[in-house]
Structure 1
Amino acid sequence: MLTSNGYTLDSSEKRLGWLEPVPDADRTKRDVLWERLRRDGYLYLPQQLQADLVNGFREYYFSTMAETGIIAPGTHPADGIGRAACADREKVHGVLFGDIVPGVRYEELTTHPDVKGWFQWFLGDDVHLHKRKIIRHLMPGETGIGTATQAHYDLVYLREGSERVLSMWIPLGDCPPEMGGLTYLEGSHHWALADERERGNRRPAASITADLPGLAEKHDSRWLLADFAAGDVVVHSSYVVHASTDNVDALGRIRLSTDIRYQRASEPIDWRWQEHWHEDDGL
């Protein structure tokens, strides 16, 4: 049973499905990938990154966080086993925003040739990485409104630049569905785009809802999941609706992920996203 913000997802075939990975034979066919992106709103690219690169960053992250109390005593940081007791929130934010987010290791990961180079190839142009890059950890057992990412599409937070920004979501370590990975509402980019262009419905910079099963029912659609392995990534459009599920991992592992945004450097850039991410940045 999967939940999101405490809501139980409908597990029927009409409401829950699986992301479709890009076949190996199509990975180097740019036109085919663009066709898939327009059709599906996302590109699920298994093993786009080396697993060692991703797992190495996971170990770095939790080693750096060790003094904050989020890791269970006596466990290896690379495993990211969450501590049952509450961590020191002020210490967590101090390490996250003071050390990790502006740090060299994070910059190296997000500009790695298999990331930046891929976007240069796919977009066929010089590219720009938004400096505001978000990295999240989701503790096992957390539930209720405000824990998991609520349903939204990215454009509502990027109004001052190009609508053709592409996001890449990178699970930092293995992330089966029970660990609270990202989930996409099938076909949602079509109605989101239609709302904005045909009816002028420009949603505010806020989530649509925490009620994922209700949203799927409203649009007669399915939430799409994946059993992500370290090295997998998903690239998605700024219009596709996505969210995350709650972390109910029986092993107590913390879900760690990052979402970053690339676009053509020649297109308008939202200036508000050109500083390091911080909880007080107002976005």
Structure 2
Amino acid sequence: MPHATSPPSTSASPEDAHFYVNDGQLDSDQFGYLKPTHIDTPLAEVRRRFAEDGYVFLKGILPRDDVLHARSEYFRLLSPSGVLAPDSIPAEGIFNPSSNPLDYPGIGAGQSDANGRPTGPNPEVANQFVDLALKAHSEKWYKDDFCRHPALIDYIAKFTDWGAENTIPIKRTLLRNNTPGNNAIGVHYDQIFLRHGEDTSVTAWVPMGDISLHGGGLIYLENGHKLGRELEQNFTARAKASGLTDQEMKDAFNRNMMSGGILSQGAKQFAKDNGNRRWLLAEYEAGDVVLHNAYAIHASCINKDPKGRIRVGTDLRFVDGSKEWDRRWDKVYEFADGV
């Protein structure tokens, strides 16, 4: 296949290829690399790759300067918490080496309840940081300018063939940071959280800044979109057999079956238990976007960026307005909002 490329030229050398998830280091046969797709690739080919792999890793779809501006605004907002290295430039997002990473927890990472309010050993520091991270979701530079960037909306409207009128960027997004050494995001697929609508949504995971191979970027389970669909179908069959109503089935995965809707906090063991699949990772650049479908299983690595950069990325979801979609998501993100 033309997009089944070898590892990127910037990939780690064998002696540096140490990638860690919540339950340990990935073995050499447990990881590979995402297949990059360039912005000038014909849409028919992009659609084919998306259908085949469950994702498409788009290079340079957003203007780099716009992404770095948003990153700078984000860290200007968070800087009073002490998360940044003294005298560093906000856009660089360098973590303060004298701070405890656990006092700067990421939203939705490593919590018993993935939608709960995270905390840390020093509640005063953690609360200030978390309050500011949550506030960022409501800032104009983020919710209006970045989340509704015309370059992204226009591309998705054409890629999905929904058209401009029916391509809706839904309001509830998850803007996540990951400080070096903190917990990674657990294993999940998105339809778990969007079950009150059809399974046609498209997620755009947008790295807000450059993320090195060791910087805690998103990782995708190889052919995980097929496994995710199987898991969903198996759950539906069991739920129906147990006598749950349609409404109860929509909520049961989130509330009763798995903590916070997470399939597993341990990506290493999850891959072993499901056919010894590989986790696919990448070095991301500001301007890159990964589109994935509702069943693509993904997680993240622990951030061990050699420069101490804080990883920031956001989950932007798009739906076809002509179809039923989960309108619980028609609001700005807040903790314990029932989704």
Distance 2:326 2:209 in 1: 30
Determine helix, strand or coil for the equivalent of 1:108.
helix
Q: Does 1:127 align with 2:167?
A: yes
Q: Does 1:40 align with 2:53?
A: yes
Tell me which of 181, 190, 194 is aligned to 2:217: 181
Aligned-partner residue type, residue 284 of structure 2: F
Residue 105 (structure 1) aligns with: 141
Give the greater-gyration-radius structure (CA).
Answer: 2
Q: Does 1:152 align with 2:192?
A: no
Distance 1:192 1:201, change over 3 A: farther
Distance 1:37 1:182, change over 3 A: same
Q: How far has the Cα of 1:30 moved from its partner?
A: 2.5
Determine helix, strand or coil for the equivalent of 1:277.
coil
Q: Does 1:31 align with 2:44?
A: yes
Q: Does 1:94 align with 2:150?
A: no
Q: How far has the Cα of 1:192 moved from its partner?
A: 2.0
Aligned-partner residue type, residue 266 of structure 1: S
Distance 1:201 1:138, change over 3 A: farther
Deviations, residues 92-123 of structure 1 (Å, cap 9, x unaligned):
2322333x211111121111111111111112
Distance 2:145 2:130 in 1: 21
Distance 2:23 2:159 in 1: 38
Deviations, residues 113-141 of structure 1 (Å, cap 9, x unaligned):
11111111112222111111110111112
Distance 2:129 2:158 in 1: 37
Residue 22 (structure 1) aligns with: 37
RMSD of aligned Cα (Å): 1.7
Determine helix, strand or coil for the equivalent of 1:57.
helix
Q: How many residues align?
A: 274
Aligned-partner residue type, residue 140 of structure 2: V
Are 2:203 and 2:317, in contact at CA under 8 Å, matched by a contact in 1? yes
Q: Does 1:215 align with 2:270?
A: yes
Aligned-partner residue type, residue 214 of structure 2: E
Distance 1:225 1:96 in 2: 25
Distance 1:198 1:226, change over 3 A: same
Residue 27 (structure 2) aligns with: 10
Distance 1:211 1:243, change over 3 A: same
Determine helix, strand or coil for the equivalent of 1:177.
coil
- Which TM-score applies when normalising by structure 1? 0.91
Distance 2:308 2:38 in 1: 32
Determine helix, strand or coil for the equivalent of 1:220.
coil
In structure 1, stretches of 5+ residues that fail to align are none
Residue 65 (structure 1) aligns with: 78
Runs of 4+ in 1 over 4 A off after TM superposition: none
Distance 1:235 1:201, change over 3 A: farther
Distance 2:324 2:50 in 1: 21
Deviations, residues 223-258 of structure 1 (Å, cap 9, x unaligned):
000111111110000101000000111211100111
Determine helix, strand or coil for the equivalent of 2:219.
strand
Q: Does 1:76 align with 2:89?
A: yes
Determine helix, strand or coil for the equivalent of 1:260.
strand
Aligned-partner residue type, residue 133 of structure 1: T
Are 2:185 and 2:300, in contact at CA under 8 Å, matched by a contact in 1? yes
Aligned-partner residue type, residue 193 of structure 2: Y
Distance 1:6 1:198 in 2: 26
Determine helix, strand or coil for the equivalent of 2:57.
strand
Aligned-partner residue type, residue 46 of structure 2: L
Residue 294 (structure 2) aligns with: 238
Are 2:39 and 2:59, in contact at CA under 8 Å, matched by a contact in 1? no
Determine helix, strand or coil for the equivalent of 1:22.
strand
Distance 1:35 1:152 in 2: 23
Distance 1:35 1:90 in 2: 45
Aligned-partner residue type, residue 316 of structure 2: I
Aligned-partner residue type, residue 88 of structure 2: T
Aligned-partner residue type, residue 251 of structure 1: K
Are 1:4 and 1:244, in contact at CA under 8 Å, matched by a contact in 2? yes
Determine helix, strand or coil for the equivalent of 1:256.
strand
Distance 1:181 1:110 in 2: 19
Q: How far has the Cα of 1:22 moved from its partner?
A: 1.6
